[in-house]
Amino acid sequence: MIPQNVSLKEEQALVLDYLENGYPFEQDALKTPIVQALGINHLTILELIPKRDMHLQSHQPVYIGEGKREEIHHIKGRIPYEKLTSTAKNELPHVIEEVVAKDEKKFVEFFNKAQPLTMRMHQLELLPGLGKKHMWEVITARKGHPFESFEDLKSKVKLIPDPKGMIVKRILSELEGKEKYQLFVG
């Protein structure tokens, strides 16, 4: 879990939606183009202002770190899930799946290193569809040799058919603000 008091900066983001004329509900005559994006490292939902005459597509990676940015003028800030457009909400699960697939090792490592949260609850139990029985199977299987990939995890723990899907669902649930504990979202 990520400490709550640490300020996390994103370097890269994936575009969820590009609003060329800004938000339709804004009354301002000079509407600013808006990009809604998901930060890749800390999985934060961001509102970005693109550079003039820049046209972006969903799933397009954009650099938002320090230094020269090609597509993005500045970062307006974090936004809650509720402020996402319907297009961005529809794209979010696909973008999360893309992030998890690209950084599979990081998410497999969660299964290798997950620890108890309290005397009665383990981090693994916070994944959708993973109860005590599955948790003990994962803990037993990782003792011999740490998991190398989602496929390795699936082959060693037969009762977990889709570990990647579990991670994606959990991240989405955290972004929607439904979870008490944050396992993946910064």
Q: What is the 3-state secondary structure (H, E, C) of the chain?
A: CCCCCCCCCCCEEEEEEEECCCCCCCCCCCCCCEEEEEECCCCCEEEEEECCCCCCCCCCEEECCCCCCCCEEEEEEECCHHHCCHHHHHHHHHHHHHHHHHCHHHHHHHHHHCCECCCCCEHHHHCCCCCHHHHHHHHHHHHHCCCCCHHHHHHHCCCCCCHHHHHHHHHHHHHCCCCCCCCCCC
Q: Are residues 66 and 115 in the same domain?
A: no
Residue 67 lies in a domain: yes
Tell me what pLDDT residue 53 has. 86
pLDDT at 5 over 50: no
User: Which of the four pLDDT bands, split at 50, 70 and 90, describes residue 24?
Assistant: confident
**Looking at the structure, do residues 66 and 133 belong to the same domain, yes or no?**
no
Domain termination site, one of 37, 64, 90 = 90
pLDDT tens for each residue of 123-156: 999 999 998 999 999 999 999 899 999 999 999 9
- CATH number for position 19: 2.40.50.140
Q: Which of 90, 115, 132 is the last residue of a domain?
A: 90
Structural domains in the chain (count): 2
Is the model's pTM score more than 0.85?
yes
pLDDT of residue 8: 66
Q: For 38-74, write each residue's pLDDT tens digit.
A: 999 999 999 999 998 889 999 999 999 988 999 999 9
- Domain co-membership, 114 together with 74: no
